[in-house]
A and B are shown apart, each in its own frame.
Chain A
Amino acid sequence: MRSDAAQGVAWALGGGLIVYASWAMDRLERHGAALYTAPGLVPGLLGLVLVVLGVALALRKRGISACSPAIRWGNTPLVLALCLGYAIGLIGRMPFWLATFVFVTAFIAIFEYPSRRRMALAPLYGAATSLAVSNLFEAVFLVRLP
């Protein structure tokens, strides 16, 4: 998926799907809609643009970046798991202040490992963030938090 050619094919296929879905979309002719007012007109044209650009990307010759260097993921999977876990798994299933405390504390503790002194500060940051954000949104902005 990293080379321009593979990306171009993916874009062209995605664009093709959009064109197909737009063409198959109800044209509302029974409501007297002309072809140029059909709901699928603009997305269809944009799908076509993506197909053309995808083909251009797949076919072009660009020495140095035709194949990008390997992507370094680093901490990404862990960060992504923590953030998604908080936003999908915790928010809405427990009080907001608790979810935020758990998330911030866990995040800092994991990424500050192995510094015990900094890990020990994680619950403090968690509590402060949870208290500040909850109060700010509920008391000042009058938002009912999940």
Chain B
Amino acid sequence: MFEGLILFGRSIGGFLTAESILWALGASLVGVVIGALPGLTATMGVALMTTLTLKMAPAQALLVLVCTYVGAIYGGSRSAILLNIPGTPASAASCLDGYALARQGRAGYAMGIATTGSVMGTLIGMFFLALFTPLLGNVALKFGAYEFFWLATFGVVISGNLTGDDPLKGWMAGALGLFLATIGQESVYAFERFTFGTRELAGGLSLVPALVGAFGFAELLMVMRERRPPVTLSALDSVIPRLRDLWKYRRTIVRSGCIGTFIGIIPGVGEDSAAWTSYAAAKRASVEKALFGKGSVEGLMAAETGDNACVPGAIIPVLTLQIPGSAPAAVLMAAMLIHGVRPGPLIMVESPQFVYDVITMMLFAVIGILIYGLVLTRFLVQVLRARYQVIVPIIFVLCAVGSFAIAARLFDVWVMLAFGVLGFALRLLNYPMAPLVLGLVLGDLLEKSLRRGLVLSDGDVTPFFTRPISAFLCALLVLIVLSRFIRWRPRANRAV
């Protein structure tokens, strides 16, 4: 307990420099702007910023990425409230009551509630991050190759199950991601697979250019598909949150914060599920059920608290298991590996300080979104008037040059382009992107764990099914898959 506080204090001391504060505030603003612009997601923001922070010191680079991530999830609420268009999928639930409040002339008040909910959600998530990471780290020390194989599989399957309208297509996207991760030399014999004699593919597909393509380029193609009508914005009232709202909805805040964090911990689920689940739970428990969907402050508070609490939650399995809880967390994990940080079961043994560094980074992000939420409201409203005809080519230049900068080779730009076109085609055909990303990121772990497990058991597959944790994960997976085959209905309310 006290050791944790000392480490946390040391982290705050380390980051309390003018340079870090400026990076944190700048990155939070970039995140909020990216999140506010419909069509550009947190995953894209983190992927793009990963390429821009390659040459920075690891601590500063990760500070920028964490602040971008938190800022983008928060920023999505701006367009949800003012335009009824979720800036990111995570803000889809906020449209229901946020836009209704704006139509009642209370857009500023709704944004204040969104800011309060996001700040409280992130703080609750940070608390659980500090609490659970050491505990989960201890449990993870008992995991072997068999358990990691099932965890990686579980992450991809559950992501496919929950992140789109159609689980079958989600699983296919996940399997495709896992397959793409096998391209290049395999780890045991350095045998080249599916490289077709291309030297550049021998080392495998570069993860960051692939992610920049699948999220950056593909999203640009999606937003440019149609010309958008001119933006009409509601008038703003006061954005200053009221303390009595905080007190009145304290139970909703705590409940949504807990739900958001726990959904974040589940590998591959993500912020949009956290927001919807928190919203549904708030509606069930509310005495003002009839107001939900018609401008319920409680509904908006629940959705915003839930999605932002999911961010620290999604980082817990990254730190302890090297399994991301969401698509942006997957990109963040890739960035950690690039910067030489090795998350995983040993993190509390080898570098416990890093866990508290991440919590401090989140604290800086919270301060950033609080400032922007209260002070820069009118600027952020103007951001929504930004012309995509101008933004898109600039972002594409960053996608291209960022992909090139990683290894100074044009081949990575082509990888970005290929994944952009692939991601665009899959989106058009209603395949979710999150499982593809999870597959790409977890493919290596899945393959290594499977082959290591088989070598350890001399080809015997029974340990995969008989060890207690493996058996539990396997049974859970079978149940999830079977439940989809037995009751196969599209979810109608996920307008993401």
- Chain A residues with CB under 8 Å of chain B are 2, 7, 11, 18, 21, 25-26, 28, 31, 33-37, 39-43, 46-47, 49-50, 53-54, 56-57, 60, 62, 64-65, 68, 71-76, 79-80, 82-84, 86-88, 91-92, 96, 100, 103-104, 107-108, 111-112, 118, 125, 129, 133, 137, 140-146
The answer to whether B179 touches A18 (Cβ under 8 A) is yes
The yes or no answer to B397 lying at the interface (CB within 8 A) is yes
The answer to whether A34 touches B459 (Cβ under 8 A) is yes
**CA gap between A142 and B305 in the complex, in Å:** 40
**CA gap between A37 and B176 in the complex, in Å:** 21
**CA gap between A56 and B168 in the complex, in Å:** 8
Q: Which of B191, B217, B389 contacts A39 (CB 8 A)?
A: B191
The yes or no answer to B2 lying at the interface (CB within 8 A) is no
The yes or no answer to B339 lying at the interface (CB within 8 A) is no
**CA gap between A49 and B450 in the complex, in Å:** 15
The answer to whether B389 touches A111 (Cβ under 8 A) is yes
The answer to whether A62 touches B490 (Cβ under 8 A) is yes
The yes or no answer to B224 lying at the interface (CB within 8 A) is yes
What is the chain A residue whose CB lies nearest that of B54? A141
**CA gap between A53 and B414 in the complex, in Å:** 29
**Interface residue stretch chosen among B73-81, B325-333, B373-381, B403-411:** B403-411
The answer to whether B414 touches A31 (Cβ under 8 A) is no
The yes or no answer to B400 lying at the interface (CB within 8 A) is yes
The answer to whether B172 touches A11 (Cβ under 8 A) is yes
Scoring B169, B424, B446 by chain A CB atoms within 10 A of each residue's CB, the highest score goes to B169
Q: How distant is B490 from chain A, measured CB to nearest CB, in Å?
A: 7
The answer to whether A42 touches B189 (Cβ under 8 A) is no
**CA gap between A95 and B54 in the complex, in Å:** 23
**CA gap between A128 and B189 in the complex, in Å:** 49
The yes or no answer to B138 lying at the interface (CB within 8 A) is no
Scoring B224, B413, B455, B490 by chain A CB atoms within 10 A of each residue's CB, the highest score goes to B224
The answer to whether A37 touches B405 (Cβ under 8 A) is no
**CA gap between A105 and B188 in the complex, in Å:** 49
The answer to whether A47 touches B179 (Cβ under 8 A) is yes
**CA gap between A47 and B393 in the complex, in Å:** 37
The answer to whether A57 touches B179 (Cβ under 8 A) is no
The answer to whether B405 touches A137 (Cβ under 8 A) is yes
Q: How distant is A7 from chain B, measured CB to nearest CB, in Å?
A: 6
What is the chain B residue whose CB lies nearest that of A42? B447
The answer to whether A142 touches B490 (Cβ under 8 A) is no
**CA gap between A90 and B187 in the complex, in Å:** 37
The answer to whether B404 touches A146 (Cβ under 8 A) is yes
Of all A-B residue pairs in the complex, the 7 with the closest CB atoms, nearest first, are A107-B393, A111-B389, A39-B191, A36-B454, A74-B225, A141-B55, A46-B179
- Known A28-B191, A133-B398; contact A42-B393, beta-carbon cutoff 8 A: no
Question: Chain B contacts of A64 at CB under 8 A?
Answer: 490
Question: Chain B contacts of A36 at CB under 8 A?
Answer: 451, 454-455, 459
- Known A39-B189, A65-B166; contact A143-B179, beta-carbon cutoff 8 A: no
Question: Chain B contacts of A2 at CB under 8 A?
Answer: 429
Q: How distant is B238 from chain A, measured CB to nearest CB, in Å?
A: 35
> What are 15 A-to-B residue pairs whose CB atoms are below 8 Å?
A33-B189, A40-B193, A42-B182, A42-B447, A46-B182, A50-B175, A54-B172, A60-B488, A91-B400, A103-B393, A104-B397, A118-B387, A129-B397, A141-B54, A142-B55
- Known A28-B189, A88-B417, A111-B389; contact A72-B225, beta-carbon cutoff 8 A: yes
Question: Chain B contacts of A37 at CB under 8 A?
Answer: 188, 451, 454-455
Q: Which of B168, B387, B397, B454 contacts A57 (CB 8 A)?
A: B168
Question: Chain B contacts of A92 at CB under 8 A?
Answer: 410
The answer to whether B182 touches A43 (Cβ under 8 A) is yes
